[in-house]
């Protein structure tokens, strides 16, 4: 049986997935000199399955214990949500998860609902109201750049350090709920032209956060992560998966890239899972990676380019060319052209 190490790189469809309140928290020193030492030593709290620069991890921990609003930015599938969940677990804080990208009714999700019962109008507070009243809670606002602007407007006073309250407009007397002490908000965001379903963040909202860039893994780190998640899969094969992903990231950062997106860590984790479940290298790439690259352009398409890369790594996995009844899809010259030197 495979060990239960696999972190969830995918996000759920519901607005709220988790409201787990920890029974004990990591004790954070009150004295400043002891707090400084706690932050400097905090890299030891980083879970094994998270690859993050020591500076970024320490900044993340420091911001969390200081009750800062944190925005994690980076390419899709690089582990922003996982990083937020890991710091929640490392500090053993009460944790709440809200997927703003899947929220159809921001007021219902963030404030609550009114309903009629026995000729009376009753108000039911949302889980978000409970979350902000929980001391030292870490509240994950996932997919902030996909949220409806109404959600941003509601969050303005909540995230403002000088205000820190939520107005319950639907409730009688428009009660205001203060944010409890020590509450930290962690948002994840995809920023860039590649993400067509996202919105440009209002500058006033963005200024309410400190920003931490989540690192894109290199080939060695990617291989270690895949080996950690799937120790039963041949390490040499996982090395080829990591190499394929790394080459796509090198290519997309070149002066004239042949592709418009990279192979994300989420994709490579899925491919490793398929390998664990008995798929061969090319079949795993065919279903986990190729669909993310368009076919427009025929032999010059992004799909063809990424297939060339995968075919070369497949030869490395097999140790030799595999005999088939079909002619080779790419020539040796094509294979050379698929890589940036």
- Which tens digit of pLDDT belongs to each residue from 56-101? 999 999 999 999 999 998 877 778 888 898 998 899 999 999 999 8
The three-state DSSP-derived secondary structure of 273-327 is: HHHHCCCCHHHHHHHHCHHHCCCCCHHHCHHHHHHHHHHHHHHHHHCCCCCCCCC
Sole residue written with tokens 């905090």: 42
What per-residue confidence (pLDDT) applies to 207?
92
What per-residue confidence (pLDDT) applies to 102?
81
- Residues 6 or more apart whose Cβ sits within 8 Å of residue 108: 126
pLDDT band of 293, cuts 50, 70, 90: very high
- Average pLDDT (317-338) is 46
The CA distance from 168 to 171, in Å, is: 5
pLDDT band of 268, cuts 50, 70, 90: very high
Q: What percent of the chain has pLDDT over 70?
A: 81
pLDDT band of 199, cuts 50, 70, 90: low
Q: Are 155 and 108 in contact (CB under 8 A)?
A: no
Nearest to 338 by CA among 297, 302, 309: 309
What per-residue confidence (pLDDT) applies to 317?
64
- Average pLDDT (276-282) is 96
What per-residue confidence (pLDDT) applies to 301?
94
pLDDT score of 330 more than 70: no
The CA distance from 231 to 222, in Å, is: 13
Nearest to 162 by CA among 184, 138, 144, 178: 178
Give CA 94 to chain center in angstroms: 20
The three-state DSSP-derived secondary structure of 22-42 is: CCCCCCCCCCHHHHHHHHHCH
What per-residue confidence (pLDDT) applies to 47?
85
What per-residue confidence (pLDDT) applies to 48?
81
- Residues 100, 102, 107, 111, Cα dihedral to 10°: -60
What per-residue confidence (pLDDT) applies to 5?
54
- Residues 251, 146, 135, 31, Cα dihedral to 10°: 30
pLDDT band of 340, cuts 50, 70, 90: very low
Q: Where are the beta strands (DSSP E) in the chain?
A: 16-20, 69-73, 95-99, 112-117, 120-125, 138-142, 165-167, 176-178, 184-189, 210-213
pLDDT band of 114, cuts 50, 70, 90: confident
pLDDT band of 31, cuts 50, 70, 90: very high
Of residues 255 and 2, the one with the higher pLDDT is 255
The CA distance from 146 to 103, in Å, is: 9
Count CA within 13 A, CB hemisphere, residue 209: 24
Q: How much is the mean pLDDT over the chain? A: 82
Locate 232 and state its tokens: 């039963």
- Which tens digit of pLDDT belongs to each residue from 155-193? 999 999 999 999 987 776 778 999 999 999 999 987 644
What per-residue confidence (pLDDT) applies to 196?
39
- Average pLDDT (297-306) is 92
- Residues 6 or more apart whose Cβ sits within 8 Å of residue 320: none
- Residues 6 or more apart whose Cβ sits within 8 Å of residue 94: 20, 21, 22, 25, 134, 135, 136, 137, 138
- Which tens digit of pLDDT belongs to each residue from 212-265? 988 888 899 999 999 999 999 999 999 999 999 999 999 988 999 999 889 999
Give CA 72 to chain center in angstroms: 8
Count CA within 13 A, CB hemisphere, residue 45: 24
- Which tens digit of pLDDT belongs to each residue from 35-60? 999 999 999 999 887 888 899 999 99
Which CATH number is associated with domain 16-213? Answer: 3.40.50.300
pLDDT score of 321 more than 50: no
- Average pLDDT (296-314) is 92
pLDDT score of 339 more than 60: no
Of residues 337 and 252, the one with the higher pLDDT is 252
Locate 61 and state its tokens: 């921990």
């Amino acid at each position: 049986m495979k060990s239960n190490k696999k972190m969830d790189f995918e996000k759920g469809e519901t607005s709220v997935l988790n409201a787990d309140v920890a029974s004990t928290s990591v004790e954070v020193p009150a004295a400043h000199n002891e707090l400084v030492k706690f932050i400097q030593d905090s890299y030891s709290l980083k879970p094994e399955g998270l690859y993050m620069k020591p500076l970024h991890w320490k900044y993340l921990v420091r911001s969390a214990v200081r009750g800062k609003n944190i925005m994690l930015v980076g390419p899709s599938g690089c582990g922003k949500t996982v990083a937020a969940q890991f710091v929640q677990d490392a500090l053993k804080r009460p944790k709440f998860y809200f997927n703003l990208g899947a929220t159809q009714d921001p007021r219902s999700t963030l404030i609550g609902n009114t309903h009629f019962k026995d000729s009376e109008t009753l108000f039911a507070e949302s889980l978000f109201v409970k979350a902000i009243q929980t001391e030292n809670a870490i509240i994950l606002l996932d997919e902030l750049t996909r949220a409806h602007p109404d959600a941003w407007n509601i969050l303005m006073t909540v995230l403002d350090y000088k205000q820190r309250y939520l107005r319950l407009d639907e409730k009688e007397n428009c009660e205001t709920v203060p944010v409890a002490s020590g509450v930290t908000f962690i948002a994840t965001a995809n920023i860039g032209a590649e993400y067509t379903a996202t919105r440009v963040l209002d500058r006033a909202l963005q200024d309410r956060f400190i920003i931490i860039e989540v690192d894109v893994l290199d080939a060695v780190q990617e291989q270690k992560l895949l080996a950690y998640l799937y120790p039963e899969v041949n390490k040499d094969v996982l090395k080829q998966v990591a190499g394929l992903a790394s080459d796509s990231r090198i290519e997309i950062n070149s002066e004239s890239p042949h592709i418009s997106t990279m192979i994300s860590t989420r994709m490579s984790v899925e491919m490793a899972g398929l390998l664990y479940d008995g798929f061969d290298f090319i079949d795993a790439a065919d279903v986990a990676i190729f669909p993310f690259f368009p076919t427009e352009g025929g032999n010059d398409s992004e799909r063809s380019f990424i297939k060339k890369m995968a075919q070369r790594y497949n030869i490395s996995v097999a140790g030799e060319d595999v005999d088939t009844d079909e002619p080779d899809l790419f020539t040796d010259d094509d294979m050379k052209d698929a890589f940036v030197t």
